Amino acid sequence: MPFKWALNPYRGCTHACEYCYARKYQRHLELGTGDDFSSIIFVKRNVADVLARELARPAWTRESVAIGTATDPYQPIEGHYRLTRSCIQALIAASTPFSIVTKGPMVLRDRDLLREATRGAGCRVYLSVPTVDEDAWARLEPGTAPPMQRLRAVGELAAAGIDAGVLMMPLVPGITTSRPLVARTLRAIAASGARYVGTNVAHLEDGVRQHFLAFLAREYPGLVDGYSRLYTRSYVPEGYAEQVKEMVAEINQGLRLEGVALARGPSPR
């Protein structure tokens, strides 16, 4: 993983992205990877208090904290509980840098804190926008805000002086990986005012793989056989992943978006 410390105020996610690697974690609670993941949300109500105590320890060296690595910190329930906002306040008070990954335009609510963090220890916000194709979005990410709404949020964050970019990931083979669609998505990202873009191909671990293959059988039955060959393990073959990344880099040459260095690990939800 490209980070050492992660923070997730919630467990489970109503965004219900079909490919989400965090679905597998529900099994630890004897819950399923399907509707249980997207309809049963665990709220860590004292997370900000615990975080503040941990950050106050003399041994804390103010390493960067990644917010939203397993479930979205700005899924709708955050509007009520405001736990992500409270955690950001604790990180700012402790002069600790952080990053955020989200599909939720609600992140704009906290731009006041994000500007304060930018002036202090630093922060970076990644909006996850795998594709601007509305059909693929509606099927793959049924509980999320429309892609263009997310890109508008990126633009507003960047205009406010916040370090904001896009993770065009995960790219889903056979659904969002065609060259014309990747080009259209990259052009929209560049037009949004994003400062950088990163990409990775979807990975499907045990538990998630079975869920996703069932989804394909319903929505894209013609892809099931191909996926069975492509995903003999959690990750696609390295050669395929490199081909996709090279295509993205080639298209991006004319757009000049900065790249994001990504480890071979879980893609954003």
User: Which helix (H) or strand (E) covers residue 151, if one does?
Assistant: helix 147-159
pLDDT tens sequence across 113-154? 999 999 999 999 999 999 999 999 999 999 999 999 999 999
CATH code of the domain occupying 5-259: 3.80.30.30
φ, ψ for residue 174, nearest 5 deg: 80, -10
Say what the pLDDT of residue 265 is: 46
Task: Quote the tokens at residue 198.
Answer: 């990163």
Among candidates 245, 211, 193, which has minimal Cα distance to 27? 211
Mean pLDDT of 4-33: 88
pLDDT confidence bin for 235, thresholds 50/70/90: very high
pLDDT band at 268, cuts 50/70/90? low
Is the confidence at residue 264, as pLDDT, over 50?
A: no
Across all residues in the chain, what is the average pLDDT? 93
- Round to whole Å and give the CA distance between 46 and 182: 41
Contacts of 50 (CB under 8 A, 6+ apart): none
- β-strands 10-11, 5-7: how paired? unpaired
